[in-house]
């Protein structure tokens, strides 16, 4: 019943309502329902689907602890990039960590890529913490990767979650990187 009620077709859903529905499915542990709704939302919004992450709550019996829910510590990942260069005289490798929601309206991720890639021969883009990416941002990233490969640099994409990876493949990033 909840799965049917959370379908986008069942009612006009605002972004806040849909986010709430996704959170309810996450708290219930309904990964299949969450993924279904996330894919529907991504088609409606023309962006990559939200990644499934298990709820950050652990239910315990009231008899055990006297509590119904325990909240585990969760560190919010900021939208910054880190750099790690090899110190040997050989090729220079740079690792850039992207996180959060990548959107064409906020092109700070492109500025980060340009500044971090500088003199590197190999650029590793860590996408573990990227939650969403719209089509325009994916096209911008595709153009940036294409420009780097034309300069003779190697670009590796790693850590894209299960819903982001097919999205990146659909825009052609797997062929270049």
Q: Between 54 and 55, whose confidence is greater?
A: 54
Angle of helix 108-117 relative to helix 135-150, nearest 10 degrees, comes to: 20
CATH number of the domain residue 162 falls in: 3.30.750.24
41 within a domain of the structure (yes/no): yes
- Looking at the fold, whether 52 and 124 belong to one and the same domain comes out as no
What does the pLDDT read at residue 105? 86
What does the pLDDT read at residue 176? 55
- Looking at the fold, whether 108 and 164 belong to one and the same domain comes out as yes
- Looking at the fold, whether 66 and 116 belong to one and the same domain comes out as no
- Looking at the fold, whether 59 and 125 belong to one and the same domain comes out as no
84 within a domain of the structure (yes/no): no
136 within a domain of the structure (yes/no): yes
42, pLDDT greater than 50: yes
**Residue 143 near residue 112 (C-beta atoms within 8 A):** no
89, pLDDT greater than 80: no
Q: Between 26 and 133, whose confidence is greater?
A: 133
Counted domains in the chain: 2
What does the pLDDT read at residue 9? 53
144 within a domain of the structure (yes/no): yes
Q: What is the pLDDT of residues 61-75, one digit of tens each?
A: 434 433 333 322 222
Range(s) of the domain holding residue 145: 93-176
User: Is residue 28 left, alpha or beta, with left meaning phi > 0 and alpha meaning psi from -120 to 50?
Assistant: alpha
35 within a domain of the structure (yes/no): yes
99 within a domain of the structure (yes/no): yes
Average pLDDT, the chain: 73
- Looking at the fold, whether 98 and 67 belong to one and the same domain comes out as no
Q: What is the band of 8 on the pLDDT scale with cuts at 50, 70, 90? A: low
State how far Cα 76 lies from the chain centre.
14
Mean pLDDT check: name the lowest of 125-134, 146-155, 162-171: 162-171
81 within a domain of the structure (yes/no): no
- Looking at the fold, whether 97 and 172 belong to one and the same domain comes out as yes
- Looking at the fold, whether 168 and 106 belong to one and the same domain comes out as yes
Closest CA to 69 of 78, 59, 61, 83: 59
137, pLDDT greater than 70: yes
Q: What is the band of 14 on the pLDDT scale with cuts at 50, 70, 90? A: low
């Amino acid at each position: 019943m909840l799965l049917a009620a959370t379908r986008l077709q069942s009612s006009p859903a605002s972004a806040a309502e849909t986010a709430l529905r996704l959170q309810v499915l996450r708290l219930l542990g309904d990964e299949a329902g969450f993924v279904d709704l996330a894919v529907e939302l991504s088609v409606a919004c023309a962006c990559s689907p939200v990644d499934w992450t298990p709820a950050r709550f652990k239910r315990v019996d009231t008899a055990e602890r006297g509590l119904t829910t325990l909240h585990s510590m969760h560190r919010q990942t900021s939208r910054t990039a880190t750099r790690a260069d090899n110190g040997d005289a050989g090729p220079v490798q740079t690792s850039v960590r992207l996180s959060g929601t990548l959107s064409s309206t906020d092109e700070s991720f492109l500025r980060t890529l340009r500044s971090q890639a500088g003199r590197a021969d190999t650029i590793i883009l860590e996408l573990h913490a990227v939650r969403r990416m719209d089509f325009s941002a994916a096209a911008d990233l595709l153009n940036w990767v294409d420009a780097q490969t034309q300069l003779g640099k190697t670009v590796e994409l790693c850590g894209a979650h299960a819903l982001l990876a097919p999205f990146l493949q659909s825009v052609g990033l797997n062929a270049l990187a």
